[in-house]
Structure 1
């Protein structure tokens, strides 16, 4: 029995109001069906729109922003299966599966074509929602079988257990500063320990990560409000702030005027 999961393996998400808040780092692969409403995802490279009835696969170790949009007068609903590393490692050993050498990299979000196996599998999930135990483990393994039977090339992604290597920290941070995640996430994704990340960061930017992130986010917010005419309420989440009042306070402290007065 797999007892290492921090998140239930099969989850149904339901919202009646627009939601853009939440964890912006995907630690595990996720296989999802969009049931109702629209899900808009962004990985800093491109935007993905998931319409009702569509299947998508989220790759682990990626930063992703989301916007959950319920239909008028209805609710937003997504059904997802989390494929944890322990289960995938055990599956790869049991069936002798491994990625092909030099497998091409894919984006953070992969749109999957509708297929009978995908639909029948998702239709069978409601009784297993938030369940734990051997039956749940078998259902997660079934998801893996369904994925590689329908789209065999997913084997190269599912059974790639490599961790992020050391990359250009400056380029990464300039691209991803607006993701609201802990410093340890940035450190991990750039192939560094937290201590090494902080040390390398200060050598490059001549500021602590926390201070640089705040100033860079404020700079981007100022540009979006002044040059693009966006409202502060539409900007603060997009640039990485959690709270509108905190954003307004720090913006005024930095620029001497409230964002609503720009």
Structure 2
């Protein structure tokens, strides 16, 4: 049971605190985010790779990423983190002011682990002081601290300019590969369209040419097929997989599953569970 939830966000800076046993979900990372993991751990997954940040870790997440997350507090403690959201306007203004531009797209992975550096520890400690004294009510102070974060990142690793100041929008990419990788993310079609470099109308048109069905029907079928596999072959419970597969809630998943396969998810899982299989084989 959740005993405390505190997610305070100023303009561009967020302090998160959770005392749940675990908290999971997914989100679209629209802006570059720079985070310090104060306590607990954060597990991110982009569909191909898992990235784990434990207490004391610094990480930079590139913009325009689909990521699933699991937040785990330490034993008898709270999950705590501080995050700087480096929006495009702030970065463009910085680029113009200092004459720093991206030279080439150098990083493809969405999550970059940052070097443990005394300057970063000092910086985030100052943010905690401002948070505790409610100093983030001043937007000018927030802007100064965001600029300081950019300067520190570039001082520690100058090549990060190719991440921070890459203002290009997603280009048109292979639709089939992208959707087979990201179908389990619960995002609107407009987001899928944007990330594949298409307008919504073009996305729907290209989708039907590629898959011979509508995006909505394909997504539901793909998610339910994966659910059947996980229930039957892996012995997973419906409550453990519905979020993982992109369903809004358990009741919606159960209704859609029964409509597609004629049986509730629990019946599939129980029929093929190791205990029942062993009992059948001993007869």
Please give the TM-score of this superposition, normalised by the length of structure 2. Answer: 0.87
Distance in structure 2 (CA, Å) of the matches to 1:117 and 1:65: 29
Q: Confirm or deny that 1:170 pairs with 2:173.
A: no
Which structure has more relative contact order (CA 8 Å, sep 6+)? It is: 1
Local SS of the residue matching 2:247: coil
- Shift of the 132–247 alpha-carbon distance from structure 1 to 2, 3 Å rule, reads farther
Cα distance between partner residues in 2 of 1:9 and 1:36: 21
Higher helix share: 2
SS in 2 for 1:125: helix
Are 1:198 and 2:198 counterparts?
Answer: no
- Does 1:254 find its partner at 2:252? no
Residue 244 (structure 1) aligned with residue 250 (structure 2):
yes
Which shows bigger deviation, 199-208 or 247-256? 199-208
Instruction: Indicate the residue corresponding to 1:21 in structure 2.
Output: 25
- 1:8 alignment partner in structure 2: 11
Q: How far off is 1:21 after superposition?
A: 2.5
Q: Within 5 Å, give how 1:28-177 maps onto structure 2.
A: 28-100=31-103, 102-129=104-131, 131-177=137-183
Q: What do the CA deviations read for 1:47-74 (whole angstroms, capped 9, x no partner)?
A: 0111001111111011111001112222
Name the residue aligned to 1:229.
Answer: 235
Whether the aligned pair in 2 keeps the contact of 1:10 and 1:128 (CA below 8 Å) is no
CA distances 1:171-191 after superposition (whole Å, capped 9, x unpaired): 100110001111111000000
Partner in structure 2 of residue 182 of structure 1: 188
Residue 80 of structure 1: how far off its partner (Å): 0.4
Once the two structures are TM-superposed, the CA of residue 131 in structure 1 deviates from its matched residue by 3.4
Structure 2 distance, partners of 1:161, 1:54, is 26
Give 2:279's aligned residue: none
Q: Secondary structure at the match of 1:64?
A: strand
Aligned length, in residue pairs: 255
Task: Report SS of the residue matched to 1:253.
Answer: helix
1:201-221: CA deviations, max 9, x gaps? 111112211111111111111
Distance 1:214 1:8 in 2: 37
Structure showing greater radius of gyration is: 2
SS in 2 for 1:21: strand
Distance in 2 (CA, whole Å) between partners of 1:255 and 1:75 is 41
Counterpart secondary structure, 1:93: helix
CA shift, 1:132, in A, is: 4.7
Superimposed CA distance per residue, residues 9-58 of structure 1 (whole angstroms, 9 cap, x where no aligned partner)? 11011111111135x21000000011111100001120011100111111
Structure 1 residue ranges without an equivalent (≥5): 1-5
Distance 1:106 1:121 in 2: 27
Is this contact kept in 2: 1:117–1:146, CA < 8 A? yes
Give the structure-1-normalised TM-score. 0.94
